[in-house]
Amino acid sequence: MAFKNGTKHVFAKVTVPNIDMLLEESTMKLNLISAARRVFLPCGKEVFQAQDIPPDTDVYISSGESFVDPLKTIKDHLSLTKAVSWTMNGIVLPLDKERGKTKPIISKRMKNLTEKTTARILVFKNGTGQDGYEIISPLEEKEQFLDMCTQRLDLLTRGKCLYNWIGKRVTHLKTVPLLDKCLQNSITPLRGPVWVSKGEGFIPSGAKIYLQGLLWALHQKLKPARDYSKQVRRKHFLEATVLLQLYFCSYRQ
């Protein structure tokens, strides 16, 4: 049986009287790209005469390259399996065994995408301070962010510039500050707010409405805290009163 050099799945049965005809037949039956030139035994020894091939022995046909053992990978794996040892901390490789280089699982394109820093940014239409949207976008892609704002805010024309709450123009998304911790509503930090303009100047009424709504929300959060504080003070006062009464009773006795 004649095998293509380095493989065990490409083979053909060839019966010929000499090496030259073996090479010629193998070229056609094995569909080699170039003409067969060398013949090897399974042990890797090259043969030049037909009588050097033992009966019922497989041969490997080469187009000129050196012998490639098709079972080398399996043999290396088996030898390494016998040499390694399992411990509670994992696999321990033999000291004299050189470890191969690891390759990243993800592609370069996916790696580039994951390396881009994304952020959640609170946006409003210029002049409004209610019904805002949280948009997730890479901090390096301002134009893409403006396109997303145009779509989410239903702007008639494309958004062209961004403003912060004091009316300063935002030139880069990295400069958009994080909201205070008391205003965060998720594990992922929220930035903003920013106001999207179609080209007109900043309209401060939007920031005013936003700040008024923010103050109202904070007051709502503070009300339960005040009630709890009153309850705690009242409890402490009652406890102190009881202790004083017990003290005076014991003093009179």
Average of pLDDT values for 74-86?
A: 70
pLDDT at 38: 92
Average of pLDDT values for 60-72?
A: 88
Average of pLDDT values for 229-234?
A: 83
Q: Is 56 exposed, middle or buried (0-12, 13-18, 19+ CB in 10 A)?
A: exposed
Distance separating alpha carbons of residues 145 and 151, to the nearest angstrom: 10
Average of pLDDT values for 196-224?
A: 86
Given a cut of 80, whether residue 245 has pLDDT beyond it is no
User: pLDDT band at residue 116, thresholds of 50, 70 and 90?
Assistant: low
Distance separating alpha carbons of residues 214 and 210, to the nearest angstrom: 6
Distance separating alpha carbons of residues 64 and 211, to the nearest angstrom: 80
Percentage of the residues of the chain whose pLDDT score is greater than 90: 10
For the segment 165-190, what is each residue's pLDDT rounded down to a tens digit? 888 999 888 889 888 887 777 777 88
pLDDT at 195: 92
- The label of the residue with tokens 């994304």 reads 118
Q: Any bridge partners for residue 86, and if so which?
A: 91
pLDDT at 236: 80
Given a cut of 80, whether residue 122 has pLDDT beyond it is yes
Percentage of the residues of the chain whose pLDDT score is greater than 70: 83
Given a cut of 70, whether residue 158 has pLDDT beyond it is yes
pLDDT at 163: 92
Average of pLDDT values for 94-106?
A: 57
pLDDT at 92: 66
What is the DSSP secondary-structure string of 160-204?
-EEE-TTSPEE--GGGSPBPPGGG--SSS-EEEEEEEESSSPP-H
Distance separating alpha carbons of residues 19 and 25, to the nearest angstrom: 10
CATH architecture of 116-205: Roll (3.10)
User: pLDDT band at residue 84, thresholds of 50, 70 and 90?
Assistant: low
pLDDT at 111: 64
First vs last C-alpha separation in the chain: 116
78 or 34, higher pLDDT: 34
pLDDT at 123: 92
Q: What is the pTM of this model?
A: 0.46
pLDDT at 50: 86
pLDDT at 100: 53
Of 150, 136, 243, 144, which is closest to residue 197 (Cα–Cα)? 150
Given a cut of 80, whether residue 164 has pLDDT beyond it is yes
Residue intervals in the chain for CATH 3.10.20.230? 116-205
